[in-house]
């Protein structure tokens, strides 16, 4: 044990070393395809007697509040993957915690070993899964550097075209990584420019909801549920299944709805058309990365305005609303029997002329 002041100093130094060395960072940082302004995902692994509810969300949260370098601290204990969000020296960090069935975490702890999952709960499995999936993807691609270059390119394309956002029903980092990894497996000798072109060709023709899988689905004796639409009724409703490699295999794109799938498929089709023109020297690569003109694409929009007393309240309120935009999309689809399509835009907007703490989310509507 240590005094509070010592703990605060140790946590601060630890965060600095993690940010500088990228040690312990998972998902896109683990894949080494991060770009400017990208969030840092940090997984903290602790012994069995250090729990998430008290030690992480209460004790560690209290320590972080004492750090001057930490701002916009927001615990999200009820998320699908529980975490704390904050900024450290202005850099956005998502901090996850996993308590494993060990009294002491050894220096050579290997998160990819199956034994790590023994005796842990579902939330811990999901917290561990980011690192485990990243490691597995890198093992399954034939050329890691070509994979990384192609993934950087397509992540940037997705951000420009407004289809990079897991929370609003599009695709997030792990989804894009698995899709790109499949193309690398299909074309093991292709250079990144060809892999980008083949990406759009393959997924323009892909017959969803046929799943994207990098390897066969593994079963184990640990009892965790794996993606299987034959046994699990909920899995049958997934419209764009992208299955994580390694046990327990999950659908990483369960947030995608019929409306957002339609938008993604439209963007795949347009990307394929531009790549064909590039192959014929009728277009340049800059054409592929033109931003999507969201406010010119529709004639009708649904606007969700968020107003709060101050910036701290706005951040909490905005996070709550944003996490439920996907449910709004699903209800619009259901209550109109699919006749009204909803395109949620992943970015929020604020009016600089208004003096109060506020922001707005927009959804394009079409029949």
Annotated binding site for Mg(2+): 39, 41, 94
Q: Are strands 357-366 and 341-344 parallel, antiparallel or unpaired?
A: antiparallel
Using H for helix, E for strand and C for coil, what is the string for 56-102?
Answer: HHHHHHHHHHCCCCEEEEEEECCCCCCEEEEEECCEEEEEEEEECCC
Residues 60/42, Cβ–Cβ less than 8 Å: no
Distance CA 332, CA 341 (A): 8
Q: Enumerate residues 6+ apart whose C-beta is below 8 A from 253.
A: 166, 171, 175, 238, 240, 241, 242
Residues 47/147, Cβ–Cβ less than 8 Å: no
Annotated binding site for ATP: 39-41, 94, 155, 164, 173-174
Residue 234's CB is within 10 A of a number of other CB atoms, namely 11
**Which tokens belong to 46?**
């602790």
Annotated binding site: 39-41, 94, 155, 164, 173-174
> Which stretch of DSSP H or E encloses residue 44?
strand 40-46
Distance CA 182, CA 307 (A): 43
Backbone dihedral region for residue 232 (phi beyond 0: left; psi -120 to 50: alpha; all else: beta): beta
Q: What is the DSSP string of 244-269?
A: PSSSSP-BTTTT--HHHHHHHHHHHH
Residue 236's CB is within 10 A of a number of other CB atoms, namely 12
């Amino acid at each position: 044990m240590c005094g509070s002041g010592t703990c605060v100093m140790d946590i601060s130094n630890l965060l600095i070393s993690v940010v500088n060395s990228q040690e312990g960072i998972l998902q896109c940082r683990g894949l080494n395809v991060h770009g400017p302004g990208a969030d840092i995902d940090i997984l903290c692994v602790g012994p069995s007697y250090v729990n998430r509810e008290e030690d992480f969300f209460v004790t560690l949260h209290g320590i972080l509040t004492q750090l001057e370098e930490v701002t916009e601290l927001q615990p999200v204990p009820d998320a699908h993957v529980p975490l704390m969000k904050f900024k450290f020296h202005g850099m956005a960090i998502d901090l996850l915690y996993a308590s494993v069935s060990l009294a002491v975490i050894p220096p050579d702890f290997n998160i990819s070993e199956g034994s790590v999952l023994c005796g842990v709960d579902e939330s811990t499995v999901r917290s561990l899964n980011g690192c485990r999936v990243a490691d597995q993807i890198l093992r399954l691609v034939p050329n890691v550097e070509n994979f990384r270059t192609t993934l950087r390119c397509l992540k940037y394309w997705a951000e420009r075209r407004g289809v990079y956002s897991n929370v609003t029903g599009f695709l997030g980092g792990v989804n894009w990584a698995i899709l790109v990894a499949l193309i690398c497996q299909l074309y093991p000798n292709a250079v990144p420019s060809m892999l980008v072109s083949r990406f759009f060709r393959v997924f323009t023709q892909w017959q969803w909801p046929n799943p994207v899988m990098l390897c066969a689905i593994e079963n184990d004796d640990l009892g965790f549920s794996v993606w299987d639409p034959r046994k699990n009724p909920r899995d049958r409703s997934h419209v764009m299944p992208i299955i994580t490699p390694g046990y327990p295999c999950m659908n990483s794109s369960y947030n995608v709805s019929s409306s957002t799938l339609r938008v993604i498929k439209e963007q795949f089709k347009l990307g394929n058309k531009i790549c064909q023109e590039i192959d014929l020297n009728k277009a340049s690569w800059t054409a592929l990365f033109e931003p999507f003109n969201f406010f010119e694409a529709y004639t009708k929009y649904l606007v969700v305005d968020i107003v709060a007393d101050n910036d701290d309240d706005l951040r909490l309120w905005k996070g709550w609303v944003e996490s439920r935009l996907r449910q709004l999309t699903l209800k619009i689809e259901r209550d109109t029997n699919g006749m009204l399509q909803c395109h949620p835009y992943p970015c929020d907007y604020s009016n600089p002329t208004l003096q109060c703490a506020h922001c707005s989310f927009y959804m394009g509507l079409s029949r």
